[in-house]
Amino acid sequence: MAFDIEMIKKVYSQVADRVNAAREVTGKPLTLAEKILYAHLWDGKAETAFVRGKDYVDFAPDRIACQDATAQMALLQFMQAGKNKVAVPTTVHCDHLIQAKLGADKDLQSALNSSSEVFNFLESVSNKYGIGFWKPGAGIIHQVVLENYAFPGGMMIGTDSHTVNAGGLGMVAIGVGGADAVDVMAGMPWELKFPKLIGVKLTGKLSGWTAPKDVILKVAEILTVKGGTGAIVEYFGPGATAMSCTGKGTICNMGAEIGATTSTFGYDDSMERYLRATDRADVADAANAVKEHLTGDAEVYANPEQYFDQVIEINLSELMPLLNGPFTPDLSTEAGSDMTEKAKANDWPIQVEWGLIGSCTNSSYEDLSRASSIAQQALDKGLKTKAEFGINPGSEQVRYTADRDGILSVFEKLDAKIFTNACGPCIGQWGRYEDPKNAPKNSIVHSFNRNFAKRADGNPNTHAFVASPELVAAIAIAGRLDFNPMTDKLINEEGQEVMLDEPTGWELPPKGFEVKENGYMEPVEDGSNVEVVVDPNSERLELLTPFEPWDGKNITGAKLLIKAFGKCTTDHISMAGPWLRYRGHLDNISNNCLIGAVNAYNKKTNFVKSQLNNEYDGVPNVQRAYKAAGVPTIVVGDHNYGEGSSREHAAMEPRHLGVRAVIVKSFARIHETNLKKQGMLGLTFADENDYDLIQEDDTFNFLDLDQFAPGKQLTMEIVHTDGSTDTIKLNHTYNDSQIEWFKEGSALNLIKKQNV
């Protein structure tokens, strides 16, 4: 039986009335995304039609999921909200703080030894406030959610950008900052700008070496890393219904890499099969009773150009296996000769040192079974892997079942390392090098979702390429980046030429899923007597102090902390890897604030000029000095600033250190919201060329911040060292409620004030 089945039944009991009301006010057939959005309005039935990309709307999500790295700050904030219990079903999953190095058992024990303080804190807070807790080793949050909590037609938010994975089971699941999650935990509405809609029609059928991964790699090529910003991507067509549920999850998962609000698929037979296989027949039965409301209307899919803001069509029968990268998930190359040419032209290392399968994107039973079919061929045909090989199963249920069915032993016979059921290398938790900054240039292939510089192993010289698990396995065996398994032959141990056959596998385990200990801990009914202890001398955890409210005056005399050049993701603003240990200690983790951003004036990282003494130092050191001196500062950035993870630390750190405004050409959606939640000014240049006006020694004066209002531009004066000035206009997307967050110092301050 499913978790929270009564909540799911309640959602389904309301869906028909709410969808019909939405059809009436909009006067048209509805996409699936629209049905779910209108069915989850905070105020109940729709009384007005919302304008996509413009109207801010209050929603009532059904549940929340948090991973351990972001849960720390989210729960530290929730502890300030004055509530006894979370208002909606919530879970915490311990998957980010386990480093992959020696193998599953040793790595898990090492994590328990080094992070027990954090795990104990999360367990006790969860127990106190009615939150389900998944222990270290239980699995990767998004695979566990898909197996246990996701349900067609539901709405979920999560403190990780890849929460969108649950779209594979027909949800609108959205990655948010911890402050957004705290709102919902505290019983408040969750606000979102009503998304635009991108329709992706899938025709044909996947076959041979082509996998669901290749669909999203192709979409990323088409839309680029920011092409989905502000939009929900909805997949439909015969190619969509022919795909497995976990395959759909893979596609939705990497929607985060195109900036999409989320991605989703309509309820179909593959989802029903998956629900029943994961012991949720009760959910499948309930969904079947309202299935017409759990997919887009037929008129929409018949004439998609009339109902979506943009439509893409992909013929799966013509799609080829792809590798995306390096350093960005939207640079797509077909396997084989195209890669040979690109690699030579760009000096990418052809030799591959590692092949990695897993992460929240591709760690299902189906993924492992198809990849193991390639590994078994290598054993049968006398081949050995030329690259090292690593596997991260998605959950203990997947691991146990795959081990029972002999899948993991196939990998082990090829000397693959089976890592813990955790994120591992995907988020930089990989003990590959002792000194990653000075490690050699190399190439790796993986089935993960992100491949930014230094993302996996901390080495800026690692060229990471994203591919399907099947192709990763083949390339790990061949040891060459440009290996094409459809055409290329390999020489086995006996000197014979052999070829790999097409991968095979199982959508679901033939003997069913099985697990002895899934790692779940149910919270006590009454947590009032549960004590949460935080050592005041801890370097890992720190109780929060509320941010100061705005004094109502214009910000004047501000200095430039850094003008970021080019791509500036949340990895640049708040690095992961070894810094994960400080995710619960705001002051300590603030020592990584913007240390990965490239200074536009000297093209160096973590080396900026202080106007207090005209000397150069690390970004956090310079900013701490500004704060101590009472000098306000701003950060300037380029396009899609804050692309990447949902981590709110990227907003909280500059706020904590005293930065007052972030001014950029454009924002990634989650990061802009996170800045607003923390009482920061997140602004964009009305004229992008004004980015070029900003000089290293400038002083900045806001002239009309005291008239801050929705839809009204702000004016900023730039004073140069020669005495000349430029006055520029700045755009913002703050509404009345968000301006109140700014005035009160943060959204949490406002919640606490309202709860008094």
- Just list the catalytic residues: 95-96, 160, 450, 645, 647
What tokens does 152 get?
């067609």
CA distances from 162 to 109, 262, 634 (A): 26, 9, 30
Residue (of 613, 518, 29, 506) closest to 298 by Cα position:
29
Alpha-carbon dihedral of residues 157, 151, 197, 25, nearest 10 degrees? -100
For residue 107, report the phi and psi dihedrals to the nearest 5 degrees. Answer: -70, -40
Neighbours of 409 (CB within 10 A): 13
Give the bridge partners for 608, in sequence order: 617
Integer Cα distance of 454 and 576 in angstroms: 10
What tokens does 321 get?
């296996």
Contact 420, 100 (CB under 8 A): yes
Residue (of 181, 191, 163, 149) closest to 41 by Cα position:
191
What length does the chain have? 756
What tokens does 260 get?
């999409």
Residue (of 431, 371, 422, 412) closest to 392 by Cα position:
422
Contact 213, 446 (CB under 8 A): no
Neighbours of 652 (CB within 10 A): 28
Sheet with 352-357, edge to edge strand ranges:
332-334, 322-324, 462-466, 442-446, 352-357, 388-391, 417-418
> SS3 breakdown of the chain: % helix, strand, coil, rounded to 5?
35, 20, 45
Number of H helices, E strands in the chain: 24, 30
Q: Which amino acid, residue 293?
A: H
- SS3 call for 529: coil
Neighbours of 351 (CB within 10 A): 11
Please list, in sequence order, all residues whose beta carbon lies within 8 angstroms of the beta carbon of residue 533, skipping any fewer than 6 positions away.
121, 124
Where do the DSSP E strands lie in 23-147? 56-59, 63-67, 90-93, 132-134
Kind of pairing, strands 520-521 and 132-134? antiparallel
Residue (of 249, 229, 223) closest to 170 by Cα position:
249
DSSP 463-480: EEEE--HHHHHHHHHH-B
Contact 147, 138 (CB under 8 A): no
Token match 């992460």: residue? 359
Integer Cα distance of 279 and 281 in angstroms: 6
497 DSSP 8-state letter: E
Integer Cα distance of 448 and 254 in angstroms: 9
